[in-house]
Amino acid sequence: MGQKTGIKLSIEVSEAKNIILKELKYLSGFYPYNIKRFFDLRMLHAANIMAFHDENIRFSDDFSYRLANLIAGIELLATGVNFHSFNTDDFVMLAEDIKIRASRKYNSVKYKSQSEKNYTIDLLYGDIFYSRSVIYLLEYGDYHIFESILESLKSVHKNRLLLHQKLVETVNNIKLQTKMIDLEVRIEEIIEECDLSILGVNSLLKTSFLTGWGFFGNSETALPYKIINDFLNIKAYKDLSLFFASLPPDYYFLKKIKYIDNKVNLLKSRLYENISDVKPGWLKDNLKKLAKLYF
């Protein structure tokens, strides 16, 4: 958000961004590691919250302060999630582990235990950002929102692990096949089967949408579930496509899957069609600006 996107930042989002940049500067001073690359400059969680706010309506100083802290807390938490992302090395390690033990049933609990022993610098910083985020989340002063955010965080980790385990198992089952069409069809089927997990990976984004609607939504207007779900699916599928693209050459059959790009284009068309029907006008404009951040 900001200069690079052409979207004007609200006072609260600007203050939240200042808080985050100070945290990044502070934490960067302890160890020579580029942690800034894990912070998403688009600040999607902040944008989701503020999408439902009419910029002509001003907040009290107290609410403005609390909202800025809440946004900073969610974005810091999201940065921690990025540190904990399931990377290509994890995927390949899990794939090789399953392949070696192909004759035995895969034990996800055992793998999780083994994986947790490999405590990396990314995992450490992720935990640090989690702890730092709590300071600002609690400053908002609503324990129900705090608990909903924590539940979302648990959902992110659970569904990310389930999704990658399912993909890895499928990859190893079809890797010996020679027909590309068979591979594409099976991957498409798996993605459809994992629809809930794909959405669950973005539970924190969903919570930011719901939080924004809870703050600013019109009680006479229905929650735009379809629009929210399209945003979440678009983010998930684009992330999945980038993940596949980053895999080693051995996983060429995942790099060439056209299904995801086709799915994103379909979702994009549907999203803009649904946004075109939104009223009032300021909300439609806000959602159009939000869509630019997602594409």
Tens digit of pLDDT for each residue in 232-250?
Answer: 999 998 988 888 888 777 7
Number of domains in the chain: 1
Q: Which domain holds residue 148?
A: 11-294
Instruction: Kindly report the CATH number assigned to the domain that includes residue 265.
Output: 1.10.600.10
Residue 174, domain member (yes or no): yes
| pLDDT number for residue 91 | 64
**For residue 153, is it within any domain?**
yes
Asked whether residue 4 is assigned to any structural domain, the reply reads no
Percent of the chain with pLDDT over 90: 55
pLDDT at 144 over 50: yes
Encoding tokens for residue 215?
């703050």
Residue 150 has pLDDT above 70, yes or no: yes
Contacts of 27 (CB under 8 A, 6+ apart): 35, 125, 128, 129, 132
| Residues forming beta bridges with residue 2, ordered by sequence position | 7
pLDDT value at residue 162: 85
Which residue type occupies 287? Answer: L
Q: Which residues contact 123 (CB under 8 A, 6 or more apart)?
A: 83, 84
pLDDT in tens, 14-23: 999 999 999 9
Task: Compute how many other C-beta atoms are within 10 angstroms of the C-beta atom of residue 188.
Answer: 16
Tokens of 25: 């500067």
What per-residue confidence (pLDDT) applies to 187? 73
Arithmetic mean of pLDDT, 99-110:
45
61, pLDDT greater than 50: yes
Q: Is 6 within a domain?
A: no
Residue 212 lies in a domain: yes
**Per-residue pLDDT at 199:** 84
Q: Measured over all CA atoms, what is the biggest interatomic distance in the chain, rounded to whole angstroms?
A: 64
Q: Tell if the pTM clears 0.75, that is, is over it.
A: yes
Q: Rounded to an integer, what is the distance from CA 287 to the centroid of its chain?
A: 18
Looking at the DSSP assignment, which residues form a beta bridge with residue 7?
Answer: 2
**Residue 3 domain flag:** no
Give residue 174's identity as a one-letter amino acid code.
I
The closest of 172, 183, 192, 161 to 256, measured between CA atoms, is 183
Q: What is the mean pLDDT of residues 63-74?
A: 97
In a domain, 180, yes or no: yes
Give the pLDDT score at 241.
85
Burial of 266-286, coded b for 16+ CB within 10 Å and e otherwise, reads ebeeebeeebeebeeeebeeb
Specify if 1 maps to a domain. Answer: no
Contact in structure between 23 and 76 (CB atoms under 8 Å): yes
Specify whether the CB–CB gap between 209 and 48 falls below 8 A.
Answer: yes
CA distance 211 to 42: 18
pLDDT of residue 113: 44
Give the pLDDT confidence of 176-231 residue by residue, as tens digits.
555 555 666 777 777 888 888 888 889 999 999 999 999 998 777 788 999 999 99
